[in-house]
Structure formats: C-alpha cells, structure tokens
Amino acid sequence: MSKRELENFKGCLLGGAIGDALGWPIEFLGIDEIKDKFGENGIEDLVLGAFGKAEITDDTQMTLFTAEGLLRNKVRENLEEESEADIDFTTIMHNAYLRWLSTQERLPKIKDKILHNSWLVQVWSLSKLRAPGSTCLSALREEEIGTIDQPINSSKGCGGVMRVAPVGLLYGMEEAFDIGCKCAALTHGHPSGYLSAGFFSALISQIVSGEDLKEAVLKCLSLLKKYPNSEECVEKIQLALELVDSNELSNEAIREIGEGWIAEEAISIAVYCALRFQNDYKKAIIAAVNHNGDSDSTGAITGNILGAYLGVFGIPNDYIENIELFEQISEMAEDLYIGYEESDKWRNKYPGK
C-alpha cells in the first residue's frame, strides 16, 4: 500500500462515518431485536434519514472536532514565536470539544470568539442531537480540564476512543499514542479510557504509513504494554488476536470480547473485525455493528481502521453515496492530509487557539 495517500485519509474518516451510521439505528437494540427488525443477518444497508442520507452520530461529530482542534494546534506550533497568546495543546483541544458541546446545548459562559469561530459550527446538521455520550457532556460542562495527571473522572467509556482517528493521520506512531491519550483524558480519566485511544491513534498512524494491518496491531500492542495500568487493554486486544486465529463465529467472538460500551472492549471488537475481514470493508462493519452493544461506536472504529487500510476506493459506492456530510468529511480529510499551509486563508480557517 502506498504511504500516506489522500485516499487512505478519506477512507479513514468516511469509513468511520459509515460504520457509525450503519450502527446508529440499532445502537440500543439487542441482537434478537436487530434480527427481528432487519433479518437473520442483521442490519446490512444504511438506513436513510429524513433528508435521504444515513445519519452520523456524536462519534463522527466529535471526530471532526478532534480534527479541527489538531489542525488549529498545527497553526499554533507554526506561529509559536510570533504569538503572544498563552495557550497550549490541551487548551486548544478542550476548546475544540467545547465547540462541539455548543452544537449540542447552549453555553452562555463560553466566549463567543472561541465558540463560533469555526467552520464546523456553521454546518447545520452537526448541531443535531444524536445520542451524545453522557460522560463527554458532563466532563465538558466542568470548569476543570481533565488530564492524565489530573483526571476529571474515572470513566473508561468508549467516548474517548471513538473520536481520535484524526490523531493517527497527523502524527507518527509514538507521538500519536501520546496525543491520543491526551485527547481522550480530557473527558475520560480511567487509564483504560485514554490508553485505548492512544493505541487506536497509533494504529491509524501505522496503517496510513503503509504497515501491514496485523503487524501494525502487534507494534502498537508492544507500545501499549510499556504504559502503566495498560493490563486491561492489553488483555482484551490479545483476546481479539486469539479469536481472529480461532474457528469461532464472528458473533460469538464479539460476545466473548464484550459489548463495546467501554473503551478496551470497543477497540478490541474493532481490531477483531478489521483483522477477521481485512480485505472486505462491508463484511467487517456488518460484523462490528450487529451485536448486543454500542453498535455505532464499534462500527465507527472498525470503519476508521479498514477505511484507512483499504482507502476510500475499498468502500462500497452505495455506502459512500448515501452518507450524511460526505462533502464536509472529505474536506476535513483533505485538510488533514495537507496538515499545515502557510497562508492567511488557512489561518483564518484554523486559528491557532
């Protein structure tokens, strides 16, 4: 696979959005309810919403705001000597997530300049409530900013991991791991909550750099093992690897891993599905969403991984053509591919704050 191709950046973000949208209609259904509604194979096709497109959820919304925050930080890094603003990476990313929060509810205490100076905030459909995670909402309402050293809570829900794929598109493996952890720790204070995000970010980085998928998983797993309190994540990812090599049916294997509501289960289900069906995007996300758990998040993470691996041309056209916000997601992927541009237009689009 070619290294760092635009088609892989687009595949990552669009693939995640499609997995998110496929799982959204069944997020709160059990597998028996899913089969009763969609047939023995479960949901296989995108359900189109009121405007003729399959709806994305908070998973994709927050992924886009993660990307925006990262691109603003790139501007800050390039303007650091010129800037007098006392702002750091953590604050920039927190501001990005506050802008997402502002699309979900009114935030009268947040400065308008931080809140509204964003092209994403102007995208009307990003303001739709799509079952946003309670931990993300409650953490971002707090005055304190969560960090690894000063956690704001003890949550390890999957809301920290499902949004950090853009980190791996911008940074090398080790840096991506560190930054992914920092992004997740803003809202999820349990080590498994942010280490899963670090692993996921590093995995995306390895994939778009041209690494074989299984080798990428193994390298990132070795990196994960170096971090304190990583035992839960390591155990689940190792289980996923064992199940890929077993003769167990995919639905039974996913049941053994868990339901995906917590971070280490969500990333492990995605690793299992991506490796089990690594040359077939459709089979992978169908497996990733049809279970008793957090279908949209496991679908989104699986879609990010295989979309990055196979590229946008490895995703079925009927999925691509029917996904909400196709243009905006593609635009963000293109901007992540560029990374930074020395121009007033770029700085206006991504102010370094």
Mean pLDDT, residues 336-346: 95
Confidence grade of residue 50 (pLDDT, cut at 50, 70, 90): confident
Question: Does 57 appear as a known binding residue?
Answer: yes
Residue 82 has what pLDDT? 54
Write out the CATH class of domain 6-349. mainly alpha
Q: For residue range 205-226, list pLDDT tens digits in order.
A: 999 999 999 999 999 999 999 9
To the question of whether residue 296 is assigned a binding role by annotation, the answer is: yes
Residue 10 scores a pLDDT above 60:
yes
Q: Residue 1: what pLDDT?
A: 38
**pLDDT for residue 249:** 84
Residue 32 among known ligand-binding residues: no
State the pLDDT at residue 2: 45
Q: Which residue has the tokens 């294997």?
A: 253
**Residue 86 known to bind ligand:** no
What contacts 122, CB < 8 A, 6 or more positions away?
none
Domains of the chain, residue spans: 6-349
How confident is the model over 232-240, as a mean pLDDT?
98
Mean pLDDT taken over the chain: 93
165 burial class (0-12, 13-18, 19+ CB within 10 angstroms)? Answer: buried
Residue matched to tokens 């919403």: 49
Q: What is the pLDDT of residues 94-112, one digit of tens each?
A: 999 999 998 998 765 555 5
Report whether 159 contacts 55 (CB < 8 A): no
Tell me whether residue 294 is annotated as binding.
Answer: yes
Q: How many CB atoms lie within 10 A of CB 72?
A: 24
The reply, when asked if residue 59 is annotated as ligand binding, is: yes
